[in-house]
Amino acid sequence: MSTPPISPPGCPAHGLGLGPGGLRRLYGPEAEADPLGLYEQLRHQHGQVAPVLVQGDLMAWLVLGHRENLHVLQNPSLFSRDSRLWRDMAEGRVPPEHPLTPVAAWQPVANFVDGSHHKRLRGAVTEALGRFDRRGIRTHVTRFANQLIERFESVGQADLVADFAERLPMLVMCRLIGLPESETPRLVEAALDMIAGTDTAVASNAYITTALQQLVVEKRERPGHDVASYLIAHWSELSDDDRAMLTDDDRSELTGDEIVVEHLRLVLIGAFTKTANLISSMLHLVVTDRRFRTHLSGGQMTLPDALDQVLWDAPPLTSVLGRWATSDTKLAGQPIRAGDMVLLGLAAGNVDPAARPDLTAPVHGNRSHLAFGSGPHECPGEDIALAIADTGIDTLLARLPDIQLAVDEADLRWTSSLMSRNLTALPVTFEMRLTTPAGPTKVSDALPPEHRNTPLPAAMMAPAAQAASGGKAPSLWSRLFGG
């Protein structure tokens, strides 16, 4: 689909994206139509750090440079994850109903604290995740991917976003967290419903919380080899230091069980949305870019190489909210004041000409992209996310090597939000098959011969930005994270 151009200065439509002080809005129709184009305009106008407006026309700094993103990510003493530093919030300009409140209101969880408190909370999560060996995770992924494929392979058509990409990470994560398999289909539906912003999204959110609370009660009695049991064991005894940290001005002290529930939610929902986005973006390239597919099927590019390319060109989180300046400072010449919000522009940093002068040069094996962050808060789920995406896609393409896009590429739609950009559907067709318990196990074994031995393509570029689609009214959650 062609990207609606950003209107040039002087055009009457141009003002749509401009707010107080002539600053560009990172939200609204103009920003959401072409976020990547907007980042480049901002870079051109302001350099590697740009003043922007977020929801409610609150001023923030968007970091566009690769080096500058790393500087912010790696210096928590200057740029903290503690949102209580946010001047706009402290001065009452971010009321409870503000769209950023759900993601910016401080909580005693690992991704809102720094220093020793962060070490303690994050340490428990990374230790719990580290207890699963990668081969075991891949076994679960293969089994769940096969189950999903068996639901649609006999009809010869599927929507690879709704029927595959959105389901697989949740099924795997529910298994790792310790939720019984009988519960997972309903939890998948509840999480999808919550993110899609239907009328029942609030009830779905409550359903997930209740399921996690029940899981904690159950695992306390009968621990197993799962994240919930490891976190319970970790937080069964809270130290005085923990108690001090877990008490916020506005709330009473949290119990160890509540901390476990909040971290299970952080892992479950965080893993689900971003890994689903990564799988969708990759499958989009497979069915729309013949050279990409040929390269992959011919064995010149491995699946991990292909995922690297997607993580550079279409990172699941386009930006991360946020960091808050702890004192007055300068970043790329911009005057940052204590309490200012700083947004990490991961997608913009990945295409920063200073770091990547030739966007067509292959990046295979180059892991210095920003997709998983960096520094103390760097994603602890990277290996798990890559195992889910890589094994899941391999299983799908091995069983259905003939998948083809079922609609015109121009009819594909994306939704954009402050933090991500998501394909809404990926309809495909393929030859109907009788359901078989297992197919070939390697993509290159299963693809037709004409898809092999074709010349190497240049590196794949991100798909052109697309206009937001119609459909369901986006929820607060989906406007921030996409859905």
Residue whose CB is nearest to ligand HEM in the complex, by number: 381
Contacting ligand HEM within 79-98 (CB under 6 A): none
CB of 371 to ligand HEM, least distance (A): 5
Strand ranges (DSSP E) for 258-389? Answer: 320-325, 329-331, 334-336, 341-344
Indicate the pairing of strand 49-54 with strand 79-80: unpaired
Please say which residue, 373 or 463, places its beta carbon nearer to ligand HEM. 373
Backbone angles phi, psi at 72, to 5 degrees: -65, -45
Per rule CB under 6 A, is residue 111 in the interface with ligand HEM? yes
Per rule CB under 6 A, is residue 349 in the interface with ligand HEM? no
CB of 5 to ligand HEM, least distance (A): 29
Per-residue contact string for residues 286-325; x = within reach of ligand HEM by CB under 6 A: ------------------------------xx--x-----
Which of 33, 104, 125, 301 is close enough to bind ligand HEM by CB under 6 A? 125
CB of 232 to ligand HEM, least distance (A): 17
d(CA 347, CA 467): 18
d(CA 171, CA 192): 12
Contacting ligand HEM within 261-290 (CB under 6 A): 266-267, 270-271, 274-275, 278
d(CA 480, CA 53): 14
Contacting ligand HEM within 189-228 (CB under 6 A): none
Indicate the pairing of strand 24-25 with strand 49-54: parallel
Q: Which of 106, 136, 135, 39 minimizes the C-alpha distance to 343?
A: 39
Which of 177, 385, 400, 460 is close enough to bind ligand HEM by CB under 6 A? 385
Q: Which of 215, 247, 249 minimizes the C-alpha distance to 231?
A: 215
List beta partners, residue 25: 53
Contacting ligand HEM within 44-73 (CB under 6 A): 73
Which of 384, 403, 419, 423 is close enough to bind ligand HEM by CB under 6 A? 384
With CB under 6 A as the rule, give the number of residues binding ligand HEM: 25
Residue type, 307: L
Orientation of helix 134-152 relative to helix 168-177, angle to 10°: 140
Indicate the pairing of strand 320-325 with strand 49-54: unpaired
Q: What is the binding site for ligand HEM (CB under 6 A)?
A: 73, 110-111, 122, 125, 129, 266-267, 270-271, 274-275, 278, 316-317, 320, 371-373, 377, 379-381, 384-385
